[in-house]
Chain A
Amino acid sequence: MRWLIWILTLGLAAWALETAFAGGFPHQDHQAEASETQVTFNRDIAPVIFSSCASCHRPGEAAPFSLLTYEDVKKHARQIAEVTHTRNMPPWLPEPQDLKFADEMRLTAAQIDLIQKWVDQGELEGDPANRPQQPKFVEGWRLGTPDLILKAEKPLVLPPEGTDTYWNFIFRLPIQETHWVKAIEIRPGDKRFVHHANLMVDREASSRRRETTPGAGFGGMEIRIESQMFDPDSHLLFWKPGTVPYTEPEGMELRLDKGTDLILNTHLQPSGKTEVIQPSIGIYFSSHPATKLPMLLQLEDDAKLDIPAGESDFVVTDDFTLPVDVDLLAIYPHAHYLGKDIQAFATLPDGEKKTLIHISHWNLNWQAVYRYTEPVVLPKGTIVSLRYVYDNSEANPLNPNRPPARVKSGNRSSDEMCHLWLQVLPVNFDAAPGDPRMLLQEALAQHEVEKNPADFEAHYNLAAMLQAKGKLDRAMDEYQAALRLRPGDAVANNAIGSVLLAEGHPEQAGPFLEAALKARPDYFDAHYNFGNVLAAQDNFEDASTQFVLALQARPDDANTEANLGSALAEMGKISEAKGHFERALQLDPSNALAKENLAELRRTMNR
């Protein structure tokens, strides 16, 4: 007996021995010692499960079963031990690093060992007095009742089987004026079948064109949203299982205007039976407009993605030098099924290298936005780099091609991607030259053009940036470069037409706008610009036709109403003109053009 008691005091080793001999030795003598090494649910396991698992593993949440009681956990004990050991659960991809992420879900090695030990010891419940209180969760909307709740107009019927589905729901905002938003809670429908969801701001309703039936949404893994104003989206509105709705920091509210759409891009996985998915979003307004303007920087090199079949270590890198000081707030890496090892780092001007994120076992299913607990200070001149490794060999079980095939970049899930978004806030800048985000945007666009001289969008974006800064000549060169790459493109033709009009060459602008309208007959901007081109050439009749067509594309545009009024007034159709000026003012009481013209009209009528 003596040797047994002596060994027991050694803790872990003693526990193994005690179990092995459990049948043969009386235990009364050393009960006190045993309790030191005996893992129980109530004392040891419940705190881990309650804090790290229960937020998803409870009724109504994403997980397939609850983990709220001893019985719940016992029913999955070996499974929990296994998936925590392999780190499939809780889902947390980044490796430990110096720069800390908020809401980290990574279990410690000690916690994982404890679960295994509990299972090996027979999954004892233990003393009820030791059990922590079951966690309390907020029911319903986590941040309270939203100011505006929108539900997807039509649900998606997800078939019981097949490959993963990517679907985009459009939420048309029923707001009549600009609102500032401090938080948006995404409710993706049935959380069990939605792997992740991204909410994007479409300020020009450009995605609606992709719906075959209005309100039905549209398929597609990756979407591009067109915007012709310099108004970069600056917020990462993301949902994955376990996401707690994020309230933007004071001063970093998101602007939503009348006519803005929100697009929810969802990744759905068939469950074995037919599921009906109808997401909703809850919007929380703020009384303050934004005072700080963050921005999303995208590093990428999709053009380099041409991965030979069988290649197991295909490396893609991109390096971007920051033209201004920024605070890095959040990071969001993205690749598809061939992605293997994903890294981003910053090399500071003094040579110091900081790991921004490292995921050594990339898993598209658990992609996420990671927010730093503290802003990461990156001075001007810092090189931000990505390094992604892809595995297109047979050894990658997730390889969408069997046998492996050459894979390039693209929007389908069987294509590949190399993207990294960084949410940055420019700091320490001189406000005099204007919005520091323009410097970032121009540097990014320049970087794109250098990387991809044959990329239409790179040239187009650089041109748009130069145009916004008033550098019309250089903008025109870049637009022309874009148009050479895609001669019939509606957007590029429209842009060139608008530059020529702004430079005072309406007669040159006309053909470009006609080409734009040939490519896209319901293109609001091109009709509007063409109307102005015709009006500048005193062709008011055709101009008014263009404004009418523009209004068909966007019925509530105050400027177009005012312009239509002007064209009609020039044609002497005074009473018709008056009606359009009045409607313009109804749509936008501050519309200066309509006010001025209406006053002019009254003077004319009184004469």
Chain B
Amino acid sequence: MGRGRFVFRGCIFLAGIFFACLGCGALAQTQQTAFDLDGKPSDPLAQASSKIVVLVFLRQDCPVSSRYAPVIQKISERYQHDASFFLVYPDKTESAQRIRKYLADYGYHLPALRDPEHALVKSALAEITPEAAVFNREGKLIYHGRIDNWYVEFGRSRPAPTTHELSDAIGAAISGKPLANGGVKGVGCYISDLE
């Protein structure tokens, strides 16, 4: 808590640099940020845009999240005018180089982020890979959880999904209509195993 107190005190004493204090706050938070594949800090939720933001959490060593690649790519293409998609890798041992290869192998054309400190995991309340999070145009998290109900449980999948939670959530974000269920747990690999 030492750092937090220091920043706070600085603000009181140096009222003139109020904006710097905001900067300090942001600096304090750089402890928890995601990075793009060039290693630069990146916060997809703070990007100046009125677009809907969709985060999809993936792990290379999770076969369920890999099998979803064509599904995720297709959903992102369908909503490309309304929503910005980001693939998020919460495994801190995952290198940018390996992620780049994975994107090429699986035919992804989406920006990918490393989230070693689980900053985005926390913002999105993600628990499993693959899970998605949908933030509406106001930046509010309106859905987090499974992409659809393709998987019944680990090792058992339906021939095709019969519910489509991610698409429904993006649709709700576009129309502004309320969503019946804001969170449905996914089937796959626990992100908390990576802590």
A interface residues with partner B (beta carbon < 8 Å): 64-65, 74-79, 82-83, 86, 88-89, 91, 160-161, 163, 192, 269-273, 337, 363, 365-366, 397-400, 402, 414
Residues of A within 8 Å of B91, CB to CB, are 75
In the complex, 11 of the A-B residue pairs with CB atoms within 8 angstroms, ordered by the A residue number, are: A65-B61, A75-B61, A83-B155, A88-B155, A89-B155, A271-B67, A272-B69, A273-B66, A273-B105, A397-B156, A398-B159
- Give the complex CA separation of A353 and B192 in angstroms: 49
Knowing A161-B71, A270-B67, A271-B66, the reply to whether A75 touches B193 (Cβ < 8 A) is yes
A485 to chain B, nearest CB (A): 33
Q: A402 — nearest CB in chain B belongs to which residue? A: B162
Question: A192 to B70, Cβ gap below 8 A?
Answer: no
- Give the complex CA separation of A365 and B151 in angstroms: 14
Would you list the 5 A-B pairs with minimal beta carbon distance, nearest first? A272-B69, A65-B61, A161-B70, A64-B63, A78-B190
Knowing A74-B193, A75-B193, A160-B106, the reply to whether A272 touches B66 (Cβ < 8 A) is yes
- Give the complex CA separation of A83 and B64 in angstroms: 14
Q: A86 — nearest CB in chain B belongs to which residue? A: B153
Question: A273 to B106, Cβ gap below 8 A?
Answer: yes
Residues of B within 8 Å of A400, CB to CB, are 159
Knowing A78-B192, A192-B63, the reply to whether A365 touches B155 (Cβ < 8 A) is yes
Q: B189 — nearest CB in chain A belongs to which residue? A: A79
Residues of A within 8 Å of B71, CB to CB, are 161
B191 to chain A, nearest CB (A): 9
Question: B154 to A83, Cβ gap below 8 A?
Answer: yes
Taking the complex as formed, is B10 at the interface, i.e. its CB lies under 8 A from any CB of chain A? Answer: no
Instruction: Select the residue from A65, A272, A366, A400 with max chain B CB neighbours within 10 A.
Output: A272
Interface membership of chain B positions 55-84, coded 1 if the CB is closer than 8 angstroms to chain A and 0 otherwise: 000000111001111110000000000000
Residues of A within 8 Å of B69, CB to CB, are 160, 272-273
Residues of A within 8 Å of B154, CB to CB, are 79, 82-83, 86, 88-89
Residues of A within 8 Å of B111, CB to CB, are none
Question: B66 to A77, Cβ gap below 8 A?
Answer: no
Question: A397 to B193, Cβ gap below 8 A?
Answer: no
B129 to chain A, nearest CB (A): 10
- Give the complex CA separation of A89 and B153 in angstroms: 12
Residues of A within 8 Å of B160, CB to CB, are 163, 402
Q: B150 — nearest CB in chain A belongs to which residue? A: A397
- Give the complex CA separation of A272 and B106 in angstroms: 6
A397 to chain B, nearest CB (A): 4
Q: Which of B163-178 contact A (CB under 8 A)?
A: none
B interface residues with partner A (beta carbon < 8 Å): 61-63, 66-71, 91, 105-107, 152-156, 158-160, 162, 189-190, 192-194
Residues of A within 8 Å of B105, CB to CB, are 273
Question: A398 to B158, Cβ gap below 8 A?
Answer: yes
Instruction: Select the residue from B152, B155, B194 with max chain A CB neighbours within 10 A.
Output: B155
Q: A63 — nearest CB in chain B belongs to which residue? A: B63
Knowing A76-B189, A161-B70, the reply to whether A273 touches B155 (Cβ < 8 A) is no
B151 to chain A, nearest CB (A): 9
Residues of A within 8 Å of B152, CB to CB, are 397-398
Residues of A within 8 Å of B156, CB to CB, are 88, 363, 365, 397-398
- Give the complex CA separation of A74 and B105 in angstroms: 27
Question: A88 to B153, Cβ gap below 8 A?
Answer: yes
A115 to chain B, nearest CB (A): 13
Question: B193 to A78, Cβ gap below 8 A?
Answer: yes
Question: B70 to A272, Cβ gap below 8 A?
Answer: yes
Instruction: Select the residue from B68, B69, B156, B194 with max chain A CB neighbours within 10 A.
Output: B156
Residues of A within 8 Å of B66, CB to CB, are 64, 271-273
Question: B193 to A64, Cβ gap below 8 A?
Answer: no
A414 to chain B, nearest CB (A): 8
- Give the complex CA separation of A78 and B193 in angstroms: 6
- Give the complex CA separation of A522 and B189 in angstroms: 54
- Give the complex CA separation of A88 and B68 in angstroms: 20
Instruction: Select the residue from A89, A91, A160, A337 with max chain B CB neighbours within 10 A.
Output: A160
Q: A80 — nearest CB in chain B belongs to which residue? A: B193
Instruction: Select the residue from A79, A83, A337 with max chain B CB neighbours within 10 A.
Output: A79
- Give the complex CA separation of A41 and B19 in angstroms: 50
- Give the complex CA separation of A337 and B158 in angstroms: 10
Q: A73 — nearest CB in chain B belongs to which residue? A: B193
Residues of A within 8 Å of B162, CB to CB, are 402
B68 to chain A, nearest CB (A): 7
Q: A163 — nearest CB in chain B belongs to which residue? A: B159
- Give the complex CA separation of A91 and B155 in angstroms: 9
Residues of B within 8 Å of A160, CB to CB, are 69-70, 106-107
Q: B70 — nearest CB in chain A belongs to which residue? A: A161
Q: Supply 6 further A-B pairs (C-beta < 8 A) apart from A75-B91, A160-B69, A163-B160.
A: A75-B193, A79-B190, A88-B156, A273-B106, A365-B155, A398-B156
Residues of A within 8 Å of B193, CB to CB, are 74-79
Q: B194 — nearest CB in chain A belongs to which residue? A: A75
From A77, A272, A402, B67 is in contact (CB under 8 Å) with A272
Residues of A within 8 Å of B192, CB to CB, are 78
- Give the complex CA separation of A74 and B107 in angstroms: 30
- Give the complex CA separation of A506 and B160 in angstroms: 57
- Give the complex CA separation of A341 and B98 in angstroms: 43
B61 to chain A, nearest CB (A): 4
Q: B149 — nearest CB in chain A belongs to which residue? A: A397
Residues of B within 8 Å of A83, CB to CB, are 154-155
Residues of B within 8 Å of A337, CB to CB, are 159
Q: B192 — nearest CB in chain A belongs to which residue? A: A78
Residues of A within 8 Å of B62, CB to CB, are 64
- Give the complex CA separation of A83 and B71 in angstroms: 25
Residues of A within 8 Å of B107, CB to CB, are 160, 273
Residues of B within 8 Å of A269, CB to CB, are 67
- Give the complex CA separation of A327 and B133 in angstroms: 58
